[in-house]
Structure 1
Amino acid sequence: MNLRENSASDVVTLAGPPSELSCDASSVDDGSDAAMRVGALYCACPASLTRANVTDNRLTLALGFGLAVLAQALVLTALPEQSRLMAPSVERIGWPFALLLVGAALASFPAALLVDAFGRRAAFSLGASLGVAGGALSAFAIAKSNFFGLCLGAFWLGLAQGFALFYRHIAAQGSARGGLVVLGGGAGAALAAPVVVSLAPEPGATLLAAAGLHVVALGLAVRMPHVVAPDSAAPAPAPISRRFALATLAGAVAWFVMSAGMLHGPLTLAVCAAAPAFIGGAMGWHLFSMYGPAALAASLPGLFSTAPTLAAGLAVMVAGAGAVYAGLSIASVTLGLIAIGLGWGAVNVAALRLLHEGARPSRAALALHDLCLLGAAAAGALLF
């Protein structure tokens, strides 16, 4: 590529292979000879764009994650019952929910790579756009009683959720507490689920509301910076360690139990003749209990030492899963869902601290961690 100025005295040529591409805002702005030398490529990055300015903006990251959690709550309110009503056979009832989780798992590596290669604006805007399309397609599929359209819409919604899950890793770059703050933002968003469901009680309207939330998330994402300036002081990523392996193994078990409970909980409540608004409220409290421990841990980190928190969280999840599968009453199933959420939240608090306290793993390792967690969740939905 050659770019020449029509000037009698100066000829400026911007050329060179991509390897020479440099992102130096000050060098472009000051017009120095070194900056404008022949044969060099430069991108005009804003001088104020520093790593601290981006990673420390926890409010934006928490809002984006909260919108994704609220959209997830709406989808989980409508998806299991509609899958039961529309599935051609009993064996296919779990397909939409499983595809939701498969989509989230498949988005793990693209989310990590796009954040590095094209920046947060591109990565999170793509994820939110997939959520808009998935919510709209799912609502259309329900209106037309098209089960396979519902599966595709759920898959797209899962892709959006996979991108949104990376908000917590971005916020935890500065400290593990930053990731906990973002996770805690999901607790407040989950409480709004019953209100939204009461305003849009029909399943199609509920899914359209989820698509609308992704539209808001898209508007938030396009206001993020394009790229992150290099941080020469950042430590090199740590290799895979025992802490990483423990966080991934415990997290995978927690996601497996959680997804199985999420699939069977709403179905059991519907079979027990619970109203859609009640199911939406139960799922809202379930999601609040999932992210509530993170909000508490961000304020009182001393209460959540890693090993005891992992053990206690898994034990509470097993007890909650037993209550959900027993299905003795609406109250017991609801309490079981809340117990599963509390245990899941405790395990993920400990896992996030294991990952980001001390030497931090690389982006690819974080994507592998999320892939294992969401793959286990998909297995839980398919096997149970």
Structure 2
Amino acid sequence: MSVNLDDLVLGSASQDEDGATAMRAGQIVCACPASLPRADITDHRLTLAMGFGLAVLAQALVLTVLPEQSRLIAPSAERVGWPFTLLLIGAAMASFPAAMLVDSFGRRAAFGLGASLGAAGGALCAFAISKGNFFGLCLGAFWLGLAQGFALFYRHIAAQGAPRDGLIVLAGGAGAALLTPLFVSLLESPGAMLLAAAGLHIAALALSVRMPHARFGKPGPVERRLSRAFVIATIAGALAWFVMSAGMLHGPLTLAVCSAAPAFIGGAMGWHLFSMYGPAALAARWPALFPPLPIVGIGLAAMLLGAAAVLSAASVASVTAGLLAIGMGWGAVNVAALRLLHEGARPSRLALALHDVCLLGAAAAGALVF
């Protein structure tokens, strides 16, 4: 069938020889052939997992140096936790824009925007520590937090197809965390680590153009009310993020005070992040081993034990073990929360944004309280 330009403009109501209905006035179609077959523009779990993994690796490099650099250039001891807290506040503030932009402007634009903010934030943090500018460090950390808020939506996007797909995306963070010790050993200075984090966000920006613009297929029913499962997932997740942020802030500082080498601190944070996302890989492979409600209790108990070990600061070994326990407990709770959210009726995008705001707000409170 050939399409005449006049028909496109005037919208003829006639039929062609094959009986196909011609275009009508006001009808909007794409007259250009698709550049990719339909199978190549539907959801890619691997692409989503890689994008999330790049964000996790960038986060690991930032967290390796941010607490210690904050301590060195902060004007007073009370402000040491400000950059880390602003990172979490930025992530919380990005939750609603991420939810809106993913649906309104498409995934490529939304995740590309988040990665751009991360690249700018990493570069600004590197510049700030080279000049001893605490305000610049706070602003750069805030931008990095905005990028993390966008990156957290990778798991929700994947889980819209099936909860297991969301777990696979979370498992991508475990693979990325294993690369942290290698990056730390190659990048000796804090500034180089922050610039590398900016480069990883640029790589995520390049990867975002390979993502589908939107999800194909008819979406499932949307739950308009806050269900019991949503409330349990949000409260348990908030508790887990509260404890995790306190451990992430005080763990590297305590290891530095205990005279641990920077390479050891970077390795410890890498294994901490691996323990955070490792349970998702196991849950994706053996979901029967992770019943949501029992796993919530087990995970929170493990986190409390780990937090006690970190706060006691008895030795380098005990602090490291505490970080690993916090990470595994956090991973278990978030696996359970993801299943509670996405098994059954599909949560609305506002509900998902509210869930992430509660989690990240609790994380910011954990960084401020301890």
TM-score over 0.5 (shorter chain): yes
1:66 aligns to 2:14 (yes or no): no
The alpha carbon displacement at 1:239 in A equals: 2.2
Q: Deviations over 1:157-216 (max 9, x none)?
A: 000001000000011111111011110111110010010011112110010010111111
Q: Deviations over 1:34-57 (max 9, x none)?
A: 5x32234445684967699533x1
Q: Is the 8 A contact 2:129 2:137 kept in 1?
A: yes
Q: Deviations over 1:342-374 (max 9, x none)?
A: 000010011011001111211110111001000
In the alignment, which of 231, 249, 253 is matched to residue 235 of structure 2? 249
* Whole-angstrom distance in 2 between the partners of 1:120 and 1:232: 17
1:278 aligns to 2:275 (yes or no): no
- CA separation of 1:102/1:233 partners in 2, compared to 1, >3 Å: closer, same or farther? closer
* Whole-angstrom distance in 2 between the partners of 1:162 and 1:221: 15
Q: Which residue of 1 aligns with 2:15?
A: none
The alpha carbon displacement at 1:222 in A equals: 1.5
Q: Which residue of 2 aligns with 1:111?
A: 98
Q: Deviations over 1:132-162 (max 9, x none)?
A: 0000000000111100000000000000001
1:90 aligns to 2:87 (yes or no): no
Q: Which residue of 2 aligns with 1:39?
A: 26
Q: Which residue of 1 aligns with 2:254?
A: 268
RMSD (Å) for aligned C-alpha atoms: 2.2
The alpha carbon displacement at 1:76 in A equals: 0.2
* Whole-angstrom distance in 2 between the partners of 1:237 and 1:217: 31
- CA separation of 1:69/1:248 partners in 2, compared to 1, >3 Å: closer, same or farther? same
Secondary structure at 2:218 match in 1? coil
* Whole-angstrom distance in 1 between the partners of 2:222 and 2:58: 36
Identity, in percent, stands at 73
Secondary structure at 2:314 match in 1? coil
Q: Which residue of 1 aligns with 2:9?
A: 12
Structure 2 counterpart of 1:196, one-letter code: F
- CA separation of 1:354/1:49 partners in 2, compared to 1, >3 Å: closer, same or farther? farther
Q: Which residue of 2 aligns with 1:295?
A: 281
Q: Is the 8 A contact 1:309 1:350 kept in 2?
A: yes
Secondary structure at 2:347 match in 1? coil
Structure 2 counterpart of 1:213, one-letter code: L
Structure 1 counterpart of 2:368, one-letter code: L
* Whole-angstrom distance in 2 between the partners of 1:44 and 1:153: 44
* Whole-angstrom distance in 1 between the partners of 2:228 and 2:24: 49
- CA separation of 1:236/1:203 partners in 2, compared to 1, >3 Å: closer, same or farther? same
Structure 2 counterpart of 1:206, one-letter code: M
* Whole-angstrom distance in 1 between the partners of 2:83 and 2:64: 13
* Whole-angstrom distance in 2 between the partners of 1:69 and 1:353: 21
The alpha carbon displacement at 1:306 in A equals: 1.1
1:122 aligns to 2:119 (yes or no): no
1:54 aligns to 2:54 (yes or no): no
Secondary structure at 2:223 match in 1? coil
1:365 aligns to 2:351 (yes or no): yes
The alpha carbon displacement at 1:261 in A equals: 0.5
Q: Which residue of 2 aligns with 1:259?
A: 245
* Whole-angstrom distance in 2 between the partners of 1:70 and 1:332: 24
* Whole-angstrom distance in 1 between the partners of 2:31 and 2:272: 46
The alpha carbon displacement at 1:60 in A equals: 0.4
In the alignment, which of 176, 180, 189 is matched to residue 163 of structure 2? 176
Q: Deviations over 1:297-317 (max 9, x none)?
A: 000111111111000000000
Q: Which residue of 1 aligns with 2:146?
A: 159
Q: Which residue of 1 aligns with 2:218?
A: 232
Q: Is the 8 A contact 2:220 2:345 kept in 1?
A: no
Q: Is the 8 A contact 1:119 1:228 kept in 2?
A: no
Q: Is the 8 A contact 1:258 1:340 kept in 2?
A: yes
Unaligned runs of 5+ in 1: 1-5, 15-29
1:204 aligns to 2:201 (yes or no): no
TM-score (norm 2): 0.93
Secondary structure at 1:234 match in 2? coil
* Whole-angstrom distance in 2 between the partners of 1:44 and 1:183: 39
- CA separation of 1:325/1:95 partners in 2, compared to 1, >3 Å: closer, same or farther? same
Unaligned runs of 5+ in 2: 12-17
Q: Is the 8 A contact 1:173 1:356 kept in 2?
A: yes
- CA separation of 1:47/1:324 partners in 2, compared to 1, >3 Å: closer, same or farther? same
* Whole-angstrom distance in 2 between the partners of 1:379 and 1:288: 24
Q: Is the 8 A contact 1:118 1:227 kept in 2?
A: no
- CA separation of 1:233/1:11 partners in 2, compared to 1, >3 Å: closer, same or farther? closer
Structure 1 counterpart of 2:194, one-letter code: L
Q: Which residue of 1 aligns with 2:205?
A: 218
1:304 aligns to 2:290 (yes or no): yes
* Whole-angstrom distance in 1 between the partners of 2:105 and 2:170: 24
Structure 2 counterpart of 1:131, one-letter code: G
The alpha carbon displacement at 1:11 in A equals: 7.1
Secondary structure at 2:301 match in 1? helix
* Whole-angstrom distance in 2 between the partners of 1:370 and 1:44: 40
Structure 1 counterpart of 2:164, one-letter code: R
Structure 2 counterpart of 1:59, one-letter code: L
